[in-house]
């Protein structure tokens, strides 16, 4: 579609505003489609606002400060207009699983629980024993993780939560924030699939399971597809910010779904790694893979954009290194990530390895002590300094990526030529290079801000500027650089991979941070 034209006759670029919210920070990005030149357009993205997202502990529980996040979103909107942009639409993507409850009068019933809240401890085991792990998996296609919405709601039901009795509507985090801006409740498809209460076979809510567990089934709205217009910003928000009308779009509201939408792949099947605090490695499919092997290998089937499903595995990710850095920053002179990577570069290769998904690494605090203990228990030398700790974590992640990639190939019968890495973690060039070495194939790294870009792409679909996912990915390929990392010599990596596999729990044990937390 060609660009709109202002009264002055000057072409106006199609513009959208994306809020990309992670577990530790949030960002606002404005995106503009360039003027058409010979039928070719590119996407330009600029950061408008950045803010912290910190959990708040109240008594025994951990919560999100949802109203402060709402206020930061409003600041991002105001800054965007003050900078001279006029976005037609905005969209919000966040982490999955968490939610707020809305009462009969439309009011929010308290601050939402944080996914690391301890209320769900041991509930995976309880429900797996009660219903059978195979049956529970078949009804959702989701990897058993302690923070899944299912376990959060069941914990509230067991505790006799008055919030459940008073709730009329459950809104997952991006839908909740959109509701607070527009007054329009909605449930976006990709977020719905993170709950473990959505059946991928029927593409409907699992009402029978909800009734069994005392979870009110009437709280759940019918999911809408990514790229659906939800409603306009409310009059109150427009008056407060003194801006013209803006429409809200349900994008790929789960940040993983938006990130995968921005993978600059061609028409051939591809494997991706969304790299950040968590790492998510998988491939895009037309239908979920619900066979027993999917469960035994701890893979998930999560909704994607364009009616797709994402067969993926959650891997602990850079959380481990982030916690090490936080520990060093509190007890020693603060160190930046570039300096830490330099130290890791200089450290001895493949000296010590860990299983990043060992349950001990799931929680915060004392991460270096946990790594030392793991190495002692497995008969390996302990890391001695920051460089060795960082090298240990990064090489272990790279080897875990290889294992997950090979497992994805086993589940799908596909062979992938390389691995597309997107997300903030690709700014760690050492991790990209190590990953190429470990998998023995090229790594294609970029773009870094994939979730925000995917968010913008879905808004342009809603605006009628982009036809579909294939066109969106071609736009990404034209607009953002991709760095290629070649694998190099594989000898040392093959030996290290054998050592790494020896550290793994036996197949079928389903040992993971989820199952042991």
| Rounded Cα gap, residues 39 and 34, in angstroms | 11
The total of other beta-carbon atoms located within 10 Å of residue 44's CB is: 13
Could you read off the pLDDT of 315-365 as tens digits, one per residue?
A: 989 999 999 999 999 998 899 999 999 999 999 999 999 999 998 998 888
Helix 386-412 vs helix 337-346: crossing angle, to nearest 10: 90
Helix ranges (H only) for 52-104 are 66-82
Least Cα distance to 31 among 314, 198, 249, 219 occurs for 249
Cβ within 8 Å of residue 211, ≥6 positions away: 217
- pLDDT tens for residues 7-41? 333 346 899 999 999 988 999 999 999 876 677 89
Q: How far apart are the first and last CA of the chain?
A: 50
Q: Is 255 a catalytic residue?
A: yes
DSSP 485-509: E-----HHHHHHHHHHHHTSPPTTS
Q: Rounded to whole angstroms, how far apart are CA atoms 162 and 165?
A: 5
Query: Is the pLDDT confidence value at 50 over 90?
Result: yes
Of residues 117, 255, 355, 357, which has the active-site annotation?
255
The length of the chain, given as a count of residues: 517
Q: How far is CA 479 from the centre of its chain?
A: 23
| Parts of the chain belonging to CATH 3.30.420.40 | 4-250, 274-316+416-491, 319-397+505-516
The tokens describing 140, both together, are 């959702």
444-466 per-position pLDDT tens digit: 999 999 999 999 999 999 999 99
Domain over 4-250 is classified CATH 3.90.1150.10: no
Q: 274-316+416-491 maps to which CATH number?
A: 3.30.420.40
Residue 230's pLDDT is 97
Residue 488: predicted pLDDT? 83
Mean pLDDT of the residues in the chain: 94
> How far apart are the C-alpha atoms of 440 and 495, rounded to whole Å?
13
> Is residue 232 within 8 Å of 197, Cβ to Cβ?
no
> What architecture is the 319-397+505-516 domain classified under in CATH?
2-Layer Sandwich (3.30)
């Amino acid at each position: 579609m060609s660009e709109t034209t202002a009264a002055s006759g000057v072409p106006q670029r199609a513009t959208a505003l994306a809020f990309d919210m992670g577990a530790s920070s949030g960002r606002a990005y404005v995106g503009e489609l360039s003027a058409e030149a010979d039928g070719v357009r590119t996407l330009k993205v600029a950061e408008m606002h950045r803010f912290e997202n910190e959990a708040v502990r109240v008594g025994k529980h951990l919560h999100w400060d949802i109203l402060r996040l709402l206020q930061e979103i409003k600041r991002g909107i105001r800054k965007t207009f003050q900078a001279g942009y006029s976005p037609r639409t905005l969209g919000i993507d966040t982490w999955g699983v968490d939610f707020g409850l809305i009462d009969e009068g439309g009011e929010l019933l308290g601050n939402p629980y944080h996914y690391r809240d301890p209320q769900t401890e041991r509930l995976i085991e309880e429900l797996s024993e009660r219903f059978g792990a195979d049956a529970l998996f078949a009804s959702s296609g989701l990897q058993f993780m302690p923070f899944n919405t299912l376990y959060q709601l069941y914990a509230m039901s067991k505790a006799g939560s008055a919030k459940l009795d008073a709730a009329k509507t459950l809104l997952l985090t991006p839908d909740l924030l959109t509701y607070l801006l527009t007054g329009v409740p909605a449930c976006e498809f990709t977020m719905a699939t993170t709950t473990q209460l959505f059946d991928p076979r029927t593409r409907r809510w699992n009402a029978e399971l909800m009734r069994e567990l005392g979870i009110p089934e009437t709280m759940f709205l019918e999911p809408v597809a990514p790229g659906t217009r939800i409603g306009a910003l409310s009059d109150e928000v427009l008056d407060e910010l003194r801006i013209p009308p803006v429409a809200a779009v349900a994008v790929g509201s789960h940040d993983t779904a938006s990130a995968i939408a921005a993978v600059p792949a061609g028409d051939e099947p591809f494997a991706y790694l969304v790299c950040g605090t968590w790492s998510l490695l998988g491939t895009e499919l037309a239908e979920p893979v619900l066979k027993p092997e999917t469960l035994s290998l701890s893979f998930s089937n999560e909704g994607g954009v364009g009616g797709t499903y994402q067969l993926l595995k959650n891997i602990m990710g850079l959380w481990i290194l982030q916690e090490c850095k936080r520990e060093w920053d509190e007890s020693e002179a603060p160190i930046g990530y570039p300096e830490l990577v330099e130290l890791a570069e200089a450290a001895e290769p493949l000296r010590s390895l860990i299983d990043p998904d060992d349950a001990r690494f799931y929680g915060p605090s004392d991460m270096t002590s946990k790594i030392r203990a793991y190495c002692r228990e497995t008969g390996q030398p302990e890391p001695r300094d920051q460089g060795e700790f960082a090298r240990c974590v990064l090489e272990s992640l790279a080897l875990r990526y290889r294992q997950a990639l090979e497992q994805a190939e086993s589940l799908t019968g596909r062979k992938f030529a390389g691995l597309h890495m997107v997300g903030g973690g690709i700014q760690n060039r050492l991790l990209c290079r190590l990953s190429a070495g470990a998998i023995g194939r090229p790594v294609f790294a970029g773009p870094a801000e994939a979730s925000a870009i995917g968010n913008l792409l879905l808004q342009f679909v809603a605006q009628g500027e982009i036809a579909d996912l294939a066109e969106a990915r071609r736009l990404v390929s034209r607009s953002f650089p991709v760095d290629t990392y070649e694998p190099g010599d594989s000898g040392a990596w093959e030996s290290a991979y054998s050592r790494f596999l020896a550290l793994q729990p036996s197949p079928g044990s389903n040992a993971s941070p989820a199952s042991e937390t």
